[in-house]
């Protein structure tokens, strides 16, 4: 598939801004304001939106390339951008026949809106996306919602939040819907700070979310369908892409360190050279896995029913687990190569931020939770053992 060179050129300009402020964003645990403004100035927020609504109809592969590029420069910026595009994918995939959401898509493209997400919840739900305690309460043509959200990333900076809840107060926890609320339609009361090891610029604080909006802003499809057909695949692939970006930059720093050492001692193979080769091998495995995952998604889109299949869900889950593990292994290898110069902050080879950001990867939809879900599917699903499929 051909690369969208114009889009990547625009993304490269925004990534340069992200690189300039990445250490400051991390140190101060602040939102990457400058980088996100650069992404808006480059008209990159609505690229997934269909052309007839003002977007560029960019493919998931295009957006993954942008996430990987941003991940090489500032992981927090890349994560915010990825989470935004995951939400856009839900609107694009499930709102095309819905008048309010079609108009909303046009606004995303024209105004370069930033979308947030509220799917996690307190009260023992945590990161279990398939269950909710809070519920939509209908009031004529409007609805109200109050949610104790344990985490809402960049909540105070976004222009709209897509929030999950039970369909009604008497509905079971798994009977969920997703509603879109604009910034003017909700209030946020902070309940938890965001002072973490890594991904510090995502500002993923906890809030009491209270909103009121017209009922037409509730997506007509059940959230379970939205999650299965668009959200989870987009999440695992775009997260994997930005994680690849972190890993690629770590390997690049390790390679630069070894080259510098080789220049000091001509004719001698530096101690870390073998580790760089091993890290490069793992990076290639990560890249191949992500490209295979993107191809798998593209094929599933053509065979529409395949998006709901167990084989597709298992493939996406395995991709997420594999990418998150490889990221940590690669950064650890790079750290061993760079030694104290990688461990220290403020050197050309510093890897502390990379390592701390990488540690979040297995926790985003916890790998153990994913293994649990996959193990249940494997009780009834036979794995495809062919080399090519």
CA distance 384 to 263: 49
Please check whether the two domains, 5-113 and 223-378, share a CATH topology. Answer: no
pLDDT at residue 1, rounded to an integer? 40
DSSP string computed for 164-194: EEESSTTS-TT-EEEEEEEGGGEEEEEEE--
Neighbours of 66 (CB within 10 A): 30
* CATH fold group of domain 223-378: Butyryl-CoA Dehydrogenase, subunit A; domain 3 (1.20.140)
Residues 263-275 have pLDDT tens digits of 998 888 888 999 9
* Chunked mean pLDDT (size 10), the chain, 389 residues: 76 98 97 98 98 97 98 98 98 94 98 96 80 95 96 97 97 96 98 97 97 97 92 96 98 97 89 96 98 94 82 93 98 97 97 98 92 90 80
Nearest to 253 by CA among 138, 319, 357, 333: 333
DSSP string computed for 298-361: HHHHHSGGGGGSHHHHHHHHHHHHHHHHHHHHHHHHHHHHHTHHHHSTTSTT--HHHHHHHTTG
Q: In the CATH scheme, what architecture does the domain 116-217 have?
A: Beta Barrel (2.40)
Nearest to 297 by CA among 282, 309, 286: 309
Q: Which two tokens stand for residue 125?
A: 């739900």
CA distance 384 to 374: 15
Residues 169-188 have pLDDT tens digits of 999 999 999 999 999 999 99
Percent of the chain with pLDDT over 70: 99
| Domain 5-113 of CATH type 1.10.540.10 | yes
pLDDT at residue 3, rounded to an integer? 59
Element (H, E) at 146: strand 142-153
Domain boundaries, the chain: 5-113, 116-217, 223-378
Element (H, E) at 48: none
């Amino acid at each position: 598939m051909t690369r969208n060179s114009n889009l990547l050129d625009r993304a490269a300009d925004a990534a340069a801004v992200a690189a300039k402020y990445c250490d400051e964003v991390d140190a101060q645990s602040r939102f990457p304001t400058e980088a996100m403004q650069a992404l808006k100035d480059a008209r990159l927020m609505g690229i997934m939106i269909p052309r007839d609504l003002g977007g560029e109809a960019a493919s998931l592969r295009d957006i993954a390339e942008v996430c990987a590029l941003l991940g090489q420069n500032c992981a927090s910026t890349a994560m915010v951008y990825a989470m935004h595009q995951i939400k856009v994918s839900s609107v694009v995939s499930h709102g095309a026949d819905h008048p309010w959401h079609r108009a909303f898509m046009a606004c995303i493209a024209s105004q370069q809106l930033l979308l947030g997400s509220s799917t996690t919840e307190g009260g023992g739900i945590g990161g279990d996306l398939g269950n909710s305690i809070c519920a939509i309460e209908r009031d004529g043509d409007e609805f109200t919602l109050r949610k104790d959200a344990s985490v809402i990333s960049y909540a105070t900076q976004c222009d709209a939040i897509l929030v999950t809840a039970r369909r009604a107060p008497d509905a079971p926890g798994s009977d969920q819907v997703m509603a879109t609320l604009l910034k003017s339609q909700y209030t946020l009361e902070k309940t938890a700070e965001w002072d973490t090891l890594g991904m510090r610029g995502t500002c993923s604080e906890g809030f009491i979310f209270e909103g009121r909006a017209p009922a037409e802003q509730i997506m007509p499809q059940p959230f379970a369908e939205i999650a299965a057909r668009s959200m989870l695949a987009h999440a695992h692939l775009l997260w994997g892409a930005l994680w690849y970006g972190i890993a690629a930059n770590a390997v690049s720093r390790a390679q630069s360190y070894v080259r510098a050492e080789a220049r000091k001692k001509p004719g001698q193979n530096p101690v870390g050279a073998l580790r760089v080769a091993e890290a490069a091998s793992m990076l290639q495995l990560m890249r191949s896995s992500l490209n295979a995952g993107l191809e798998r998604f593209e094929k599933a889109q053509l065979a529409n029913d395949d998006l709901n299949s167990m084989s597709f869900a298992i493939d996406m889950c395995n991709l997420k687990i594999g990418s998150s593990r490889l990221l940590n292994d690669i950064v650890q290898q790079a750290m061993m190569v760079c030694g104290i110069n990688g461990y220290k902050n403020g050197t050309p080879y510093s890897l502390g931020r990379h390592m701390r950001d990488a540690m979040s990867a297995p926790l985003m939809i916890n790998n153990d939770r994913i293994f649990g879900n996959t193990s249940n599917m494997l009780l009834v699903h036979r794995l495809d053992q062919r080399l090519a499929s």
